[in-house]
Amino acid sequence: MSSHRRALLIAVSAAACLSAAAVYVLGFSGVTSGTDEKVAVPVPDPRTAGYCAALHARLPAKVNGLPQHDLKPVSGLTAGWGDPPIVLRCGVPRPAADASASTDGVEVDGVGWSIEPQPGGSFRLTTTLRKAYVEVTLPKKYAGDLDPLTDLAGAVKKTIPEGI
């Protein structure tokens, strides 16, 4: 069994345990006016930006039952849901953690994600083996919940091809 597959299996088990213990079809209904949350906007190359534009057009109005809203600055490369927000950024660079066989990962509905714990109990998850990297930051409040990734998987699969 490859170390990557082993890491995926470990991460799935860990995520399941966390869950037991404790993401747009652009429709203006359910979209709120935004929040004061400031997010760094990625600066992808033109090909990646095209994938991200397609993804943005298919993002769900709700993730984990939370309404979608703009972040600051408003960008087609970012989206947020809820407060504190679940934050999506498309077109980010490949995470350095992906170079390590010890990085945890999970596959949710056919989309692979690397998992990086962040200060304060949040988690940053970044797609793997896709032509564009999509990063989702889950605040501590949602850190053990895979539902946001389930809600986002269909849009990612339809708009960002597999490959590196």
What CA–CA distance (Å, rounded) separates 5 from 163? 17
**What is the Cα–Cα distance from 75 to 42, expressed in whole angstroms?**
9
Q: Report the percentage of the chain scoring pLDDT > 70.
A: 77
Across the range 129-141, mean pLDDT stands at 96
Q: In angstroms, what CA-CA distances link 51 with 8, 13, 116, 151?
A: 25, 31, 24, 18
- What pLDDT does residue 122 have? 95
- Hey, CA dihedral for 32, 28, 58, 51, is it positive or negative? negative
Per mean pLDDT, which range of 36-40, 58-62, 128-132 is the poorest?
Answer: 36-40
Q: What is the mean pLDDT of the chain?
A: 82
Cα gap 24→54, rounded to integer Å? 10
Q: Give the pLDDT of residue 1.
A: 45
Q: Which of 127, 123, 121 is nearest to 95 (CA)?
A: 127
DSSP type of residue 75: -
Q: Model confidence over 43-94: pLDDT tens digits?
A: 999 999 999 999 999 999 999 999 999 899 999 999 999 999 999 999 999 9
pLDDT for 18: 31
β-pair partners for 32: 69
Q: What is the pLDDT of residue 136?
A: 97
Q: Which of 21-30, 44-53, 153-162 has the lowest mean pLDDT?
A: 21-30
Report the alpha-carbon distance of residue 85 to residue 103 in Å, rounded: 24
Does residue 150 have a pLDDT over 80? yes
Q: For residues 137 and 148, is the Cβ–Cβ distance under 8 A?
A: no
Q: Supply the DSSP symbol for 97.
A: G
